[in-house]
Amino acid sequence: MNSVSLTDVLSVLPLETILWSILGLLFVGFAFYSMILLWHWKAYSTGRFTTVASMFTYLVVGSVLLAIMALAVVWLSAV
Amino acid sequence: MSTSSFQLQKGEQVIAIIRRHWFRLAVVGFIDGCVVALLLIGLVVLDTFVLSEVTAAGGLGQLLPLSLFVLAGSSLILWMHFFSVWSDHWLDAWIITNKRIIDIEQKGFFQREVSSIPLSRIQDMTVTTEGIIAMWLHFGDVRIQTASITRDLIMRQVPFPEDVREHVLSVLALHNTVTLS
């Protein structure tokens, strides 16, 4: 029986396509989830400053993480 | 003041807005942080051993960006989880006005329960603090017994429950004075 190395597996898999698909799904999920979350806060919150500050923090950090994922895929393509 | 879930009556003023203690939120944040840290350690260890083997074999250097992708993706999911808990924490509140106590409870995203108890129906209040952490961080439950047969109002895990009790009692005393005069 031939042993298959990790290098072989990585070189055969269409990694970029898989990663872009995962990123796309996460992006859609994040956008939909954020829409619900922000609508809730806007509709029901009883403290304006904390609500706006939290909305800002949530969206900025979420976007940064998505950007890191996109950069990782671009990096992977360059390797 | 008005939100889409409740409207203040004529002459009603908000005296205090009380929320749950931050302890539960901190525990969730700590657990989420630990998961990210463990993932980071796992990926570093994996990269150190596997990457060196692959590089030595003249193979691919794909594991580093792949690890970054996995780490950022997991962090995003945990970040969303933390904010759903934060949302639940922030949207649950007890609003004390000069006429009633409003109990707002957010149950998930699509269920919200808003009930209110007029101050005139309050009969007794009990404070319960259980456990060493609750004693140390000063949080506990305040049970407000009412003349209603349906249920008592319980403010769960509120900070400084004794102070909340005293506060409600002083509002109640003021309300009774105004009503009697």
Tens digit of each residue's pLDDT (9 = 90 or more) over A19-58: 999 999 999 999 999 998 888 877 777 667 677 888 889 9
Query: Between these two residues, B95 and A4, which has the higher pLDDT value?
Result: B95
Angstrom distance (rounded) from CA B21 to CA B19 = 7
Mean pLDDT, residues B49-66 taken together: 67
Residue range B118-141: mean pLDDT, rounded: 92
Question: What is the model's pLDDT at position A3?
Answer: 67
- In the predicted model, what is the mean pLDDT of chain B? 86
pLDDT reported for residue B2:
46
Which residues does chain A have within 8 Å of residue B86's beta carbon, measured at their own beta carbons? 54
**Does position B59 have pLDDT exceeding 90, yes or no?**
no
Verify whether the Cβ–Cβ distance A72 to B72 is below 8 Å: yes
What token pair was written down for B98? 């000069």
pLDDT of residue B41: 92
**Confidence (pTM):** 0.80
The H or E element that residue B76 is part of is helix B63-91
Task: Answer whether A38 touches B (CB < 8 Å).
Answer: no
CB contact A3 to B (< 8 Å):
no
The enclosing H or E element of B101 equals: strand B100-107
Compute the distance between CA of residue B47 and CA of residue B62 in angstroms, rounded to an integer.
Answer: 10
